Amino acid sequence: MIEKFCELGGGALDMDTFASEASWEAALTAAGGVRALVEELEDREDVVGFAVSRPPGHHALPDRAMGFCLFNNVAVSAAYLRSRGERVAILDWDVHHGNGTQEMLADDPGVLYVSIHQDSFYPFEGQIGDIEAGQAKGTVVNVPLPAGTAGDVYRRAWAELVVPVVEQFLPDWVLISAGFDAHANDELAGFFLESDDYGWMSAHLATIHPASRTIYTLEGGYDLTALRQSTHSALLGSSGVSPNGSSSRRSPPSAMAAFSEAANAIGRYWRV
């Protein structure tokens, strides 16, 4: 459908998802680029992969484009890896929940999907209780946090919830839906992360999972300066260069309450 739609000149697929005549090739390149990185890294030990993919992918559903996304770039590569019997953890730090990724992979016990995202915000999915749903209970880990959340609580969620779950899941590959729209300078959402927060998270992940089996796939991020600086910080972190100091911004009390609620639900399945 997407191919035919683009051949006819494109247009609006929904209220915020547009395609042009060239979008078909761009979308194939974005999805194929992530898989190409998997193939490139298979025989390497000295690199980390970053796919500068546009259009993004984590909202795309099996039968529908959505939220700027035409194909689900991360899910395509996860399915490829699963076809070979490999275990995959998908970590989604975009400010929006990756509803398409969750829908496609939630029933597969060999895929772990973890999302930290802004609560009560587009696409209005990604609830804590989803960990109980589907056939692979415990493998969908959502941490919805309120608007105003900054790096202090976000880092704590990453260190105390995300990384321990990944470590226990023992994935062969980690695919990161690396949206940078949770940055304080990105006006499309209400989180207040700074560029160094992304570097800190990457460095922390690198202590428990090899960088050469980690792939970053660009999702959201609409302030170009913040996007550039955050990407730079994340890649430095993946090589073990962690930013000095803690996050300079502070979250509202409601963020810590949301963290605790998520921790209680996750703790029924994982040691956190």
Closest CA to 119 of 182, 66, 187: 182
What six digits make up the tokens of 172? 């062969």
The predicted pLDDT at position 46 comes to 82
- Sequential pLDDT tens for the chain (272 residues): 999 999 999 999 999 999 999 999 999 999 999 999 999 998 888 888 999 999 999 999 999 999 999 999 999 999 999 999 999 999 999 999 999 999 999 999 999 999 999 999 999 999 999 999 888 999 999 999 999 999 999 999 999 999 999 999 999 999 999 999 999 999 999 999 999 999 999 999 999 999 999 999 999 999 999 999 999 999 999 988 888 878 889 999 999 999 999 999 999 999 99
What six digits make up the tokens of 61? 């559903």
Adjacent-strand bridge partners of 217: 51, 177
φ, ψ dihedrals at 115, nearest 5°: -130, 130
Closest CA to 229 of 190, 185, 187: 185
Annotated active-site residue in 58, 59, 96, 117: 59
Residue 267 vs residues 128, 163, 180, 201, 205: alpha-carbon distances, Å: 12, 13, 28, 21, 20
How far is it, in rounded angstroms, from Cα 221 to Cα 219? 7
How far is it, in rounded angstroms, from Cα 194 to Cα 61? 30
Q: Examine the residue annotation and report whether 59 is marked as an active-site residue of this protein.
A: yes
The predicted pLDDT at position 71 comes to 97
Q: Where are the alpha helices (DSSP H) in the chain?
A: 2-7, 23-41, 73-83, 99-105, 151-157, 163-169, 195-206, 224-238, 253-266
Closest CA to 174 of 165, 183, 182: 165
The predicted pLDDT at position 50 comes to 96
